């Protein structure tokens, strides 16, 4: 299936831990994104990579670090997790920054 | 940055009814998309429509870029249409990020 796939789907972890979310797209897209959706359903971009180059870096704490080993992958590593990091994180991709396709999301719960 | 407002915030309709969702944006855009987030949380891209009109089955969308709004029409609603509908835009000025509106929550009652 052609898609944007992210793992894990659910992540429950304690405050202070470090965790990673992985994302892969097989659509041949050149741009990948991470979005955060809060409890009120508001979606906000965190990072965007075009051909492995960081092009958008919103005001995100530097505990969040994206890594793009190649055009098909964009992983998100989070250090020292805080309660306020609990949210749904979506990976997405597009070609030439046009129509965006989203992954199914990772629900992160920090306890 | 660009502001995106959607209306109404909530809409409850009987199955079979038609609906119109509106998206207003504060500046000129080169990219506008409509998404449906279903009750399971999946975000589905409905339309990429920076201008003009498109149709896909019971759904259609119109963007009037010069007047800074877009409309999403849903005809003959089905319960599977329930969820949150988001409009998202990229402004002509700025860092090319896709900015989302706050969404319209649509509930279709059988």
**Confidence at residue B94, expressed as pLDDT on a 0 to 100 scale:** 67
Q: Report how far residue B4's alpha carbon sits from residue A68's, in angstroms, rounded to the nearest whole number.
A: 30
**Is B95 near chain A, with CB under 8 Å?**
yes
Q: pLDDT tens across A36-69, in order?
A: 999 999 999 999 998 888 888 887 899 999 999 9
How many other CB atoms sit within 10 Å of the CB of residue B49? 22
DSSP characters for A19-41? EEEEEEE-S--SEEEEEEE-TT-
> In the 8-state DSSP scheme, what is residue B13?
E
User: Domains in chain A: how many in total?
Assistant: 1
Q: pLDDT tens across B53-89, in order?
A: 999 999 999 999 999 999 999 999 999 999 999 999 9
**Under 8 Å CB-to-CB from A15, ≥6 apart: which residues?**
A81, A82, A83, A110, A111
Domain that holds residue A23: 4-110
**Is B110 near chain A, with CB under 8 Å?**
no
Instruction: Give the residue on B whose Cα is nearest the Cα of A5.
Output: B42
Residues 23-42 of B with CB under 8 A from A: 31, 33, 35, 37, 41-42
Instruction: Check if the beta carbon of residue A34 is closer than 8 Å to that of residue A74.
Output: yes
- Residue B14 is part of a domain; what is its CATH number? 2.60.40.10
User: Domains in chain B: how many in total?
Assistant: 1
Instruction: Give the residue on B whose Cα is nearest the Cα of A106.
Output: B41
């Amino acid at each position: 299936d052609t898609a944007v796939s992210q793992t894990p789907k659910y992540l429950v972890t304690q405050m202070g831990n470090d965790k990673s979310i992985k994302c892969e797209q097989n659509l041949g897209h050149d741009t990948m994104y991470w979005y955060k959706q809060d409890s009120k359903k508001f979606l906000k971009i965190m990072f965007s990579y075009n051909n492995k180059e960081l092009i958008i870096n919103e005001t995100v704490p530097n505990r969040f670090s994206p890594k793009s080993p190649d055009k098909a992958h964009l992983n998100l590593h989070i250090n020292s997790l805080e309660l306020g990091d609990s949210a749904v994180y979506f990976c997405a991709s597009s070609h030439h920054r046009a129509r965006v396709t989203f992954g199914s999301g990772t629900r992160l719960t920090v306890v | 940055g660009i502001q995106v407002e959607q209306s109404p915030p909530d809409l409850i309709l009987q199955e079979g009814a038609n609906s119109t969702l509106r998206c207003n944006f504060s500046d000129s855009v080169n990219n506008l998309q409509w998404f449906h987030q279903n009750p399971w949380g999946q975000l589905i891209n409905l339309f990429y429509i920076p201008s003009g009109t498109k149709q896909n089955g019971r759904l259609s969308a119109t963007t009037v870029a010069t007047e800074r709004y877009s409309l999403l029409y849903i005809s003959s609603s089905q319960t599977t249409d329930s969820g949150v509908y988001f409009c998202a835009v990229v402004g002509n000025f700025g860092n090319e990020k896709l900015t989302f509106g706050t969404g319209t929550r649509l509930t279709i009652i059988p």
